[in-house]
Structure 1
Amino acid sequence: MSTPRVPKDQYQHYIPRFILRRFQPEEAVAKTRVQKRQAYKVAKKAGSAGLEIDTISFYDVDKGVLDRRPAGKAYGKMNLYQVVGDPTNVNYIEEKFSELEGKAAHLINQIHDARLQKEITMKRKELETLRKFIFLMHYRNATRVTSYFSQDHPENAPLAAWIRKFKEKNGFEHDFDVWLFGMRYYLDTPHHAIISTAEELEKKYGHAQLAEMMIRTQVDADFENWHAMEYESVSNAYFLGICEAADGEEFVLSSNGFGLWEGLLMGESGAHRLYVISPQLAIILKNVFLQLPELRATVKSSLSGIALEKASIHYATSQDFSSAKDEKGFQEIAAALAAYRATPKAQNDLFTFKITKLTPPQTHEINEVIMLNINPNGSLTFRSPISALSTVRAFMASKDPFAQQRKKDYSALLKELTSKPPPSANSAPSQDLEDNKFKLVLDSIVGGAVEFKSQYDRAHRLFCLLKDDSTLSHPMAVKIRKLTRTIVELWTGTLGAPLKNLNPRPEANLVEMLSKEDSDKFYCVMKIFLSKLGVEIQDGTVLMTLVEETIILCVVQRMARGRHEALENLLGNVPVITV
């Protein structure tokens, strides 16, 4: 009989790497796979192959130190939820969460790509994935794992009898086992099944008794499924909204920032719950009671000024769930809707969310909530030093008494950010705004968020952001400018001196659109010509194809203004230039 294999130690992230990568500096994000392989070879040659290419800014609040950390070794813990008692699969939960994480990453990428349209539509099954993901991001946070179901923790006193009974019933030795059981339950059970279980328990116990339990004044030791109730209390009591940071501003990330409570409603915490998913995007869960004017007036919240709308719903059924004349009718509709949600057809319901663009003060308010709640031994991560400086300065100027108490925690960060300004510090705010705009358009095009009739139209959208005197610092903009100059020099080097009667045409511009037929013809001619010049740009990726096609437009405009006769000889009757 073989001895069960001893599990290897594993560093397990409580903030996924796909989120951390979005907080990498711009120059790191823009690297292609080829460039990353080249960087790895250089590191290996230098004897530092163990170092990761992907790094993030990491501010240690306790030490007051800002440095770079490998994304693979940040915001995680060794053996976070390793199931040692299961020799057949010691990392069952990690593998199950990876499946959920992959689906959530795809959805979050889609939200990013939808920012230009200012809204996104997703199916119910996708929304359920997103809901479960953000819930578990809070549930599995390493700072909460040891205390979430700690029988002796003061905050768990109303739950202590239930924890003790649950451990006895399941043969658990440690409080951690209760948390681990919940993690497995959430990953193994569909969203709608968890909600249905909780709603059945609500019917059994009644709303009043259950409400008393939910605020943890007294929890029945024999309560059947507290895990389901915790999940339902977040899913049904809050509607989901999506926010985009103001132009030139970004959200910050913290070690305990997922699922932060914010604001008081009727004296109880939980007007909002906050989840930053990238430097540009945050998900806010807003208490459904805030839709009622009489309750909205009682809320104490720094985020109450953010106008979030509930998603509009298009049901995949002809049933009407909207009209109820009285309390009985409302209960009947609620029951019908609950039954419908558990059907396969409901998985195809469509939810359309508006993406709310925030103002700079609103962006700073969200960052202030995060910075206020960072643990004394926690950490802060940001992408742009310019945006981080704006955020820290706003925090230092805050009138909130709690923020004033924590100013000392960020004084070292402020000093670090101000002592190393970017090279173009005098024009940094507007420059950063232009770079953010360029990146937004680039990401949207590459992600397929915007449809174009032709490749020419697609490249022209990016080309419009590249002015002749452009100082964009985005790596792709720099690459386009550099290669444009190189190609123009190569091209003009093959030409003789211009005719004496040939005058430059500085007013020449590219047409805004080309038909697909003309676009295909245009790029076919130009790419063959570049090949003859010995120029190889793209590597087969969507990004580099777009970069190549944009470079071609930049080259053609330069030639149209300086050596239009050469361009006309090459392109013939393709209608690209307007004078």
Structure 2
Amino acid sequence: MFMDVKHVPPLPTYPGGAPKNEEELAAIVAREEDIFEFKIIKLSVPQSREINAIMLHHLPETGSVTFLSKTSMLRTLRSFSLDFRNTNRQAYVPLLRIISEDSMEETDTGCMKAKIESEKPADFMLWVTATKVLSGEQAYRSQYDRGVVFFLLVKNTQPPAGSLCEEYSRILSSIMDGYRRLSDSPLPSVAVPQKGELVRSLSKANSDRLFQFMEKWMKNLAVMKLEIATAVLMYETAIIGFLDWLVKYQPQCVIAAALSAQLTVPILEY
């Protein structure tokens, strides 16, 4: 397991030649440490994450792992939960939710400063909301309503590396690339945004019809839905982000999509 972690081999430095006299030989034999020295190579961030993932993946129910701080624990759990190769990443969602809530309270009172790479406000709140959804604590009337909530959290943010915001940006970029590729005419480089907005809520029936239509559209754009909880949330959020872009720059496409999905209520509001 640990052998799979990419690393640079240590570089030993040996004393040159044989002892020159008996005193030097005695001094070498009496040394408590090794007669050669290793150059210690500090682990990179990816190496640290891989080792942490191995530890968490193989941690038994009765075992425990000690972290230097709550910040370190939160960073490690976030990284582990975002890596789709970790098949048991959902096992730590309840703990991640508890730590996220505690850390948010401490941050609000000024007792804990932002030292986490993904602890920008948008991503922090996104994690709190996601863990509540995945643990079943937070529920929404429809898939659409949930997507709107997540979209408002990630809208106009600069995603930190290895974050849910970054996953959202990746999926949305794939959608936009596919849409531009299949568009009948090139999209204007400069356009005046329209004043309309997506409605903030849809019933479950209308939401189901809309997402059923949108998922078929996503397949045509070569954007596939992953069977992973956090990725599904960001996939839904990216669909809302795409619809929001269409509302501003090509509202006729949103109206056509709503008609094709047979929605019983308008999807735009002015």
1:567 aligns with 2:261: no
Would you say the 8 A contact 1:21–1:29 is kept in 2? no
SS of equivalent residue, structure 2 residue 120: helix
Change in 2 beyond 3 A, CA 1:497/1:504: farther
The residue number in structure 1 matching 2:98 is 112
- Whole-angstrom distance in 2 between the partners of 1:13 and 1:560: 49
Question: 1:549 Cα shift?
Answer: 1.0
The residue number in structure 2 matching 1:359 is 109
Change in 2 beyond 3 A, CA 1:466/1:111: closer
Alignment of 1:93-492 (within 5 A): 109=95, 112=98, 115=101, 244-246=102-104, 249=107, 359-361=109-111, 386=115, 432-467=120-155, 469-473=156-160, 475-492=163-180
The residue number in structure 1 matching 2:221 is 533
1:358-388 per-position Cα deviation (integer Å, ceiling 9, x unaligned): 7223x59xxxxxxxxxxxxxxxxxxx7x16x
- Whole-angstrom distance in 2 between the partners of 1:434 and 1:544: 17
Would you say the 8 A contact 2:97–2:128 is kept in 1? no
**Unaligned stretches of 5+ residues in structure 2:** 1-58
The residue number in structure 2 matching 1:495 is 183
SS of equivalent residue, structure 1 residue 480: helix
Which amino acid letter does the alignment assign opposite residue 246 of structure 2? M
- Whole-angstrom distance in 2 between the partners of 1:490 and 1:529: 10
Change in 2 beyond 3 A, CA 1:13/1:360: farther
Question: 1:571 Cα shift?
Answer: 2.5
The residue number in structure 2 matching 1:30 is 82
Would you say the 8 A contact 2:148–2:200 is kept in 1? yes
Would you say the 8 A contact 2:192–2:249 is kept in 1? yes
Q: Which has the higher helix share?
A: 2
Which amino acid letter does the alignment assign opposite residue 542 of structure 1? A
> How many residue pairs were aligned?
199
1:577 aligns with 2:264: no
Which amino acid letter does the alignment assign opposite residue 558 of structure 1? W
Question: 1:114 Cα shift?
Answer: 10
- Pairing partner for 1:16 from 61, 64, 85: 64
- Whole-angstrom distance in 1 between the partners of 2:61 and 2:213: 49
Which amino acid letter does the alignment assign opposite residue 538 of structure 1? L
- Whole-angstrom distance in 1 between the partners of 2:164 and 2:63: 28
Which amino acid letter does the alignment assign opposite residue 481 of structure 1? S
- Whole-angstrom distance in 1 between the partners of 2:187 and 2:153: 33
Change in 2 beyond 3 A, CA 1:487/1:434: closer
Change in 2 beyond 3 A, CA 1:21/1:29: farther
Name the TM-score, length of structure 2 as normaliser.
0.60
Change in 2 beyond 3 A, CA 1:13/1:484: closer
- Whole-angstrom distance in 1 between the partners of 2:100 and 2:103: 14
The residue number in structure 2 matching 1:44 is none
Would you say the 8 A contact 1:483–1:551 is kept in 2? yes
1:414-467 per-position Cα deviation (integer Å, ceiling 9, x unaligned): xxxxxxxx7xxxxx9xx6333222211121122221121111111211111122
1:543 aligns with 2:253: no
- Whole-angstrom distance in 1 between the partners of 2:230 and 2:176: 22
Would you say the 8 A contact 2:196–2:247 is kept in 1? yes
Would you say the 8 A contact 1:455–1:520 is kept in 2? yes
Which amino acid letter does the alignment assign opposite residue 200 of structure 2? E
Please say which structure displays the higher CA radius of gyration. 1
Which amino acid letter does the alignment assign opposite residue 142 of structure 2? S
Change in 2 beyond 3 A, CA 1:499/1:29: closer
- Further displaced range: 562-571 or 546-555: 562-571
For the aligned residue pairs, the C-alpha RMSD in angstroms reads 3.9
Change in 2 beyond 3 A, CA 1:508/1:12: closer
1:18-64 per-position Cα deviation (integer Å, ceiling 9, x unaligned): 9996551643431123xx48xxxxxxxxxxxxxxxx9xxxxxxxxxx
1:239-291 per-position Cα deviation (integer Å, ceiling 9, x unaligned): xxxxx234574xxxxxxxxxxxxxxxxxxxxxxxxxxxxxxxxxxxxxxxxxx
Would you say the 8 A contact 2:247–2:254 is kept in 1? yes
**Unaligned stretches of 5+ residues in structure 1:** 1-10, 38-53, 55-101, 116-243, 250-357, 365-383, 388-421, 423-427
Which amino acid letter does the alignment assign opposite residue 359 of structure 1? T
Change in 2 beyond 3 A, CA 1:466/1:248: farther
Which amino acid letter does the alignment assign opposite residue 16 of structure 1? S
